[in-house]
């Protein structure tokens, strides 16, 4: 398998982008003239979508969430803003010191220590955001206590990141002046923290805040907290109730759910297949007198093209372990990460002239000066050809038109510039 091949993840019932309530509408085979859903399957689908567990799961999964609408799900800075707002007793959320108390109880094994901090400093605590790049620093002036919090959603800690933050805190609030320090590594994974930082999982904090809602459900910011916790559970820490619903659905309707997965529509894959079938047409329509595109070997989820004129460029090395053409430069189009995109790669070669080729492209300001050259496949350029707002609902003709137009721009820009760099005395014509 090529190093540039893609891996397609397995579908998931709860993580699927299609609305749960519409799932029974979208699973029929596209060609209904050759594939008919039996009455038994229709009966089973009805039993699934009318079951109590399914209806409850639908209500839980398909709900409006302002944090999702704002693109906050994986934005650590916005998570930090929300948490620091809730933890600050001076903010008008109506909870007072209750969120801070819940946080301290989740951090401290010694609950008396947590209660003491809250008693002495509950109303005077100061919260600093992004101080010295640390996500949150809680300053308890009366107790002379510092709690530094580093939050990780999808990222991992750097090799010396936590050690560096610890040193900054200890230099600023010095122990010899009476300050004590606590360092909290807040993460959804339970990743082991380095350099003396204590670990706190987002799931534990979510449970503490859940209890807070039970006690104070009518405060001004109660819906804010409810929506935030709902988002955390759906995307990061999980929710035991929805997991139990899913387990019951699989136990009672396993065959029907397997049918849904097997027939889940994939318009993006259909679009990509249509693109692959038009490889010759795209090559012909984007060729000129000086640049001739030809399809190269298609492999799995990758469609490729080469440029015939580059085959005869003196000193251009041959690629190994890529395609039978041995071309060192190829265009690849892939369907991944929710979009169809075009790439230009320099492939692997043991020839020392490969370095000279990459230097030529860098000198021509085509290859970024910071690009890694010690990899088998060096990406020279990229162009997104099509990304739908809804991967399950878009006009296929408009999508193909977008792919063709952006592919033309990709060739007109990047391919022509590379040709000028490789054959400066011969490539005078641009794509019309």
Q: Tokens representing 308?
A: 């015939």
Q: Is residue 203 predicted with pLDDT exceeding 80?
A: yes
Q: How confident is the model at residue 295 (pLDDT cuts 50, 70, 90)?
A: very high
pLDDT tens digits for range 315-347: 888 899 899 999 999 999 999 888 999 999 999
Alpha-carbon distance values, 107 to 5, 204, 334 (Å): 44, 9, 46
Judged by average pLDDT, the poorest of 238-247, 252-261, 345-354 is 238-247
Which three-class secondary structure string do you get for 51-75?
Answer: CHHHHHHHHHHCCCCHHHHCCCCCC
Average pLDDT over residues 249-275: 85
Give the ranges where 216-352 is alpha helix by DSSP (H): 222-232, 240-262, 267-277, 279-285
Q: Is residue 44 predicted with pLDDT exceeding 90?
A: no
Q: How confident is the model at residue 281 (pLDDT cuts 50, 70, 90)?
A: very high
233, containing H or E segment? none
Q: Give the per-residue pLDDT at 50.
A: 82
Alpha-carbon distance values, 45 to 20, 36, 52, 254 (Å): 12, 14, 14, 11
pLDDT tens digits for range 356-386: 999 999 898 898 776 677 788 999 999 999 9
Q: Give the per-residue pLDDT at 175.
A: 94
Q: How confident is the model at residue 64 (pLDDT cuts 50, 70, 90)?
A: low
pLDDT tens digits for range 409-423: 999 999 999 999 999
**Is 106 or 18 the better-scoring residue by pLDDT?**
106
First to last CA, the chain: 36
Average pLDDT over residues 137-148: 92
Give the start-end residues of each E strand in 93-234: 126-131, 134-140, 145-152, 180-187, 198-201
**Is 271 or 425 the better-scoring residue by pLDDT?**
271
Q: How confident is the model at residue 212 (pLDDT cuts 50, 70, 90)?
A: confident
Judged by average pLDDT, the poorest of 127-131, 260-264, 334-338, 378-382 is 260-264
Q: Which of 5-14, 49-58, 241-250, 359-368 has the highest mean pLDDT?
A: 359-368
Q: Give the per-residue pLDDT at 122.
A: 73
Q: Give the per-residue pLDDT at 231.
A: 80
Average pLDDT value for the chain = 81
Q: Is residue 8 predicted with pLDDT exceeding 50?
A: no
d(CA 257, CA 263): 10
d(CA 182, CA 198): 8
Percent of the chain residues topping a pLDDT of 90: 32
Q: Give the per-residue pLDDT at 13.
A: 38
pLDDT tens digits for range 68-105: 766 777 778 888 888 899 899 888 888 888 889 888 88
Judged by average pLDDT, the poorest of 97-106, 127-136, 187-196 is 187-196
Please state the φ and ψ torsions of residue 162, each to the nearest 5 degrees. Answer: -65, -35
Average pLDDT over residues 46-64: 74
Mutual angle of helices 98-107 and 202-215, in 10-degree steps: 140
Q: Give the per-residue pLDDT at 152.
A: 85
Q: How confident is the model at residue 5 (pLDDT cuts 50, 70, 90)?
A: very low
335, containing H or E segment? strand 329-336
Q: Give the per-residue pLDDT at 33.
A: 41
Q: Give the per-residue pLDDT at 291.
A: 93
Q: Is residue 137 predicted with pLDDT exceeding 70?
A: yes
Average pLDDT over residues 344-357: 90
Give one DSSP letter per residue of 294-329, joined into a string: EE---BTTEEEEEEGGGGG-TTPPPP-SS-TT--SE
CB contact set of 138 (below 8 Å; sequence gap of 6+): 87, 125, 126, 127, 146, 147, 148, 149
Q: Give the per-residue pLDDT at 431.
A: 38
Q: Is residue 17 predicted with pLDDT exceeding 50?
A: no
Q: Is residue 215 predicted with pLDDT exceeding 90?
A: no
Q: Give the per-residue pLDDT at 330.
A: 96
């Amino acid at each position: 398998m090529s190093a540039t091949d893609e891996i397609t993840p397995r579908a998931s019932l709860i993580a699927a982008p299609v609305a749960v309530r519409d799932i029974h509408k979208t699973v029929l085979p596209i060609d209904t003239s050759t594939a008919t859903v039996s009455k038994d399957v229709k009966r089973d689908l009805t039993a699934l979508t009318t079951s109590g567990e399914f209806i409850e799961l639908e209500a839980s999964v398909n709900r409006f969430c302002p944090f999702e609408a704002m693109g906050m799900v994986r934005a650590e800075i916005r998570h930090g803003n929300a948490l620091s707002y809730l933890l600050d007793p001076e903010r008008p959320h109506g909870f007072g010191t209750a969120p801070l108390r819940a946080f301290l109880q989740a951090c401290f094994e010694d609950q008396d220590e947590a209660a003491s901090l809250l008693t002495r400093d509950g109303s005077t605590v100061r919260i600093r955001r992004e101080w010295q790049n640390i996500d949150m620093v809680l300053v308890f002036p009366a107790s002379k206590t510092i709690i530094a919090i580093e939050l990780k959603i999808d990222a991992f800690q750097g090799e010396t990141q936590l050690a560096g933050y610890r040193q900054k805190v200890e230099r600023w609030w010095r122990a010899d002046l009476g300050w004590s320090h606590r360092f909290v590594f807040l993460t959804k994974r339970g990743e082991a923290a380095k350099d003396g930082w204590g670990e706190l999982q987002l799931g534990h904090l979510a449970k503490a805040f859940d209890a807070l809602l039970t006690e104070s459900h009518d405060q001004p910011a109660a819906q804010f907290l409810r929506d935030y916790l709902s988002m955390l559970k759906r995307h990061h820490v999980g929710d035991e109730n929805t997991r139990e619903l899913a387990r019951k659905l699989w136990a009672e309707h396993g065959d029907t759910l397997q049918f849904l997965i097997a027939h889940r529509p994939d318009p993006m894959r259909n679009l990509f297949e249509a693109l692959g079938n038009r490889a010759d047409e795209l090559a012909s329509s984007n060729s000129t007198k000086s640049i001739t595109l030809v399809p190269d070997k298609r492999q799995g989820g990758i469609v490729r093209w080469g440029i015939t004129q580059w085959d005869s460029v003196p000193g251009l090395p041959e690629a190994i372990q890529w395609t039978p053409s041995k071309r060192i430069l190829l265009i690849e189009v892939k369907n991944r990460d929710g979009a169809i995109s075009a790439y230009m790669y320099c492939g692997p070669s043991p020839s020392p002239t490969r370095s000279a080729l990459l230097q030529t492209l860098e000198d021509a300001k085509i290859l970024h000066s910071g690009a890694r050259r010690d990899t088998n496949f060096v990406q020279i350029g990229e162009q997104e050809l099509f990304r739908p707002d809804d991967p399950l609902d878009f006009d296929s003709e408009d999508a193909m038109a977008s792919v063709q137009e952006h592919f033309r721009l990709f060739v007109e820009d990047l391919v022509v510039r590379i040709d000028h760099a490789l054959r400066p005395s011969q490539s005078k014509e641009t794509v019309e």
